[in-house]
Amino acid sequence: MKYLIFSFLILFSLNTVFGQENKVSEIQSKSSLGIKYYNEKDYEKALPLLKDVYELTRNSTYYRYYITCMIGLQRYDEAIREIQDELKKQKPPRPDYLIYWGQVLKAQGLKDEATAKYREAIDNVQPNKGSYYLVANAFLVDQEFELARDVYQKAAEVMPDEDFSYELARSYLYLRDYNNMMEAYLNLLKKDPMHLSRIQSSLSSAMRLDIDDGLRDQFREQVLLRIQSEPDVIGYNRLLIWFLLQERKFASALRQSIAIDRRTGEEDQQIAILGDMALRNKEYAEAKKAYQYLLDKGEETSYYAQALIRTLNASFLEYVNDFPEDSVKGKELAQQFNEGLEYLHFGPATLALVREYAHLEAFYLNAPGQAIEVLEKGIAVPGLKPEQTGELKTELADVHLYNNDPWEAMLLYSQVIDENKANSLGDEVKLKKARLGYYMGNFKWAKAQLDVLKASTSKLTANDAMELSMMIGNNLNLDTTAVPLQMFARADLLFFQNRNEQAMAVLDSLEEQFPYNSLVDDILFRKAKLEIGHQNYTLAAEYLQTIVNDFGYELLGDDAMYQLAELYNYDLDQKEKARDLYRSMLNSYPGSVYIEESRAKYRELREVYPDKEEGGKEQLFQRAIENTEF
């Protein structure tokens, strides 16, 4: 008897399990197919499937889809009867079902009746956060932004111990009520500074919808007023710093950060980050000010060594970009490198400084002997990885090439390649070795090496190899003599050696002797680079624009357009032109190696300088709202 009972229980359990599995399978298959038809707006097919899934799950999401199908099929009376039947089963009535009823009335053009039903829904919200969120989100989906705001205002009144500031701010955003939105965010920040990053993220999204800069103006006004009236709330200052950084106003952001640090003594990390951001944006002076502030705090700060390294790096980049011909500044910088390395010591953490110091000595101060001594001292550091040693040896080979010793450079490049077969440095140096063959006039050998490098895993290396290979191939067999290409290679070597005036003389001679040569766009590009080095940015832009206009289909088309965008962005301070050029890069050269950088910089500039699109501001804002997920 016990055996029979036990067997019966097992069979019952198995039947229950199998029944549950079949139900889950039915729900999954019907919901998947129903949602597919729903998304395709095939409401006739979606309708019965969604109804079945709702009956099986009692999940209101499927019911909303079901009612939307009826609206799409204009079966309004049937939809209302269905909703009424569901409401009879609910005590009290669920507000989201009243909202569905309102949506049906709204679809019929019965605006007042729909509003009344929406208000009834608000009156029936249960006094808990989940219910308020559910109803407000339903209104947001239906783009009834005023009603969503009313829900959260009621929630704040009914549940004073809960904070709905963030949710209220979001509803104010969709109403473009920037004044109240900012008030809500600032109130939240005052209550809990831990919400800063969340508020920053929300404001960043909001500013992308800010077609006429109304939000930015409101932000400045209200935050500054709060800072003045409530100076003890540090969160306001931090929010202002974030905003200033979005607008790349590094000097103002640094002043604010230093002011906070003098009150709290806890801003070292923020100031270091600010310096790094300024450095990436080529604001070298502001970057150095940030790092110098940290240095002035003394060696006891944990950021002292990092600040010293970054200061030397910023000074080096500032020098090579802005003062490359000022030997006095160059010697002062060399002394700073020497003193900095004496303090920091030669080691894995300072190898980048070693390379920059050596490059400065050789290529700008014409002291290759000093550069070689510095690099050999770096190479002698014990315990370096092959890639670290390889980077120093590569710079050493470059110095020997500067010093007109190509064979020693070739030997060092070969050593680095042999020791770095398993990393990207090997391919980078193979490119340098092939380029050296090109400088020396061994064009066929160089092209063979470059053709192999087209398959490099490094996109930048592969792209550079392809460009040089194609340039050699396109120009080597077009004339009965290789003289034009030899002259151009000679100019390229002089450019590499930073002997720019000599390089320009060779190019001018090439143009005079071979005025109809196929290297015209290459000559223009080299001249543009030289003028950039001389800070003649307007003339450089003219050269690059000529390439874009007349030779955009050639190999250097994307290089010229990207470099032109960089000039307008960083040197000529014409951000909107830069934005348009980055956007043109995306359209004209989708396979370019610069595409990711162009996309990122276009997005950054578009946030500050929105594209001028057809249609009024209200239409643009509405279009943006419609594309926003709630």
Q: What is the mean pLDDT of residues 81-93?
A: 87
Rounded CA separation 443/438 (Å):
5
Predicted local distance difference test score (pLDDT) of residue 163: 87
587, part of any domain: yes
Predicted local distance difference test score (pLDDT) of residue 274: 95
User: What CATH number did the domain enclosing 616 receive?
Assistant: 1.25.40.10
Task: Inform me whether the pLDDT recorded for 11 exceeds 60.
Answer: no
- 65 CB-near residues (< 8 Å, 6+ apart): 34, 35, 38, 46, 50
389, part of any domain: no
| Cβ proximity of 356 and 393 under 8 Å | no
Q: What does the DSSP assignment read for 587-627?
A: HH-TT-TTHHHHHHHHHHHHHHS----SS-HHHHHHHHHHT
441, part of any domain: no
At residue 620 the predicted structure's pLDDT band, cuts being 50, 70 and 90, is very low
Q: Could you list the residue range(s) of the whole structural domain that residue 614 is in?
A: 519-626
| Cβ proximity of 100 and 83 under 8 Å | yes
What distance lies between CA 69 and its chain's CA centroid? Answer: 40
Predicted local distance difference test score (pLDDT) of residue 29: 77
509, part of any domain: no
Task: Inform me whether the pLDDT recorded for 622 exceeds 50.
Answer: no
At residue 331 the predicted structure's pLDDT band, cuts being 50, 70 and 90, is very high
Task: Inform me whether the pLDDT recorded for 618 exceeds 90.
Answer: no
pLDDT digits (tens, 9 = 90+) for 51-76: 888 888 888 888 889 889 999 999 99
| Cβ proximity of 254 and 290 under 8 Å | yes
Task: Inform me whether the pLDDT recorded for 320 exceeds 50.
Answer: yes
Predicted local distance difference test score (pLDDT) of residue 190: 93
298, part of any domain: no
CA triple 71-112-96, angle to 5 deg: 55
Predicted local distance difference test score (pLDDT) of residue 10: 53
pLDDT digits (tens, 9 = 90+) for 294-310: 999 999 889 999 999 99
Task: Inform me whether the pLDDT recorded for 9 exceeds 70.
Answer: no
Q: What is the mean pLDDT of residues 455-481?
A: 80
Amino acid at 281: N
Mean pLDDT (the chain) is 87
pLDDT digits (tens, 9 = 90+) for 355-400: 999 999 999 999 999 999 999 999 999 999 999 999 999 999 999 9
Q: What is the mean pLDDT of residues 184-201?
A: 92
pLDDT digits (tens, 9 = 90+) for 220-277: 999 999 999 999 999 999 999 999 998 889 999 999 999 999 999 989 999 999 999 9
Task: Inform me whether the pLDDT recorded for 324 exceeds 80.
Answer: yes
Task: Inform me whether the pLDDT recorded for 628 exceeds 60.
Answer: no
**What is the share, in percent, of the chain residues with pLDDT greater than 90?**
54
Could you tell me which residue, 242 or 532, shows the higher pLDDT? Answer: 242
In angstroms, the Cα distances linking 181 to 171, 199, 223, 277 are 8, 11, 12, 29
Predicted local distance difference test score (pLDDT) of residue 3: 52
114, part of any domain: no
Question: Could you tell me the maximum CA-CA distance found in the chain, to the nearest angstrom?
Answer: 113
In angstroms, the Cα distances linking 287 to 238, 256, 294, 400, 418 are 19, 15, 11, 33, 39
Q: What is the mean pLDDT of residues 483-505?
A: 92
In the chain, how many domains are there?
1
DSSP structure class, residue 93:
P
- 411 CB-near residues (< 8 Å, 6+ apart): none
Predicted local distance difference test score (pLDDT) of residue 159: 92
Task: Inform me whether the pLDDT recorded for 445 exceeds 60.
Answer: yes
Q: What is the mean pLDDT of residues 204-233?
A: 86
455, part of any domain: no
pTM for the predicted model, two decimal places = 0.75
Task: Inform me whether the pLDDT recorded for 621 exceeds 60.
Answer: no
383, part of any domain: no
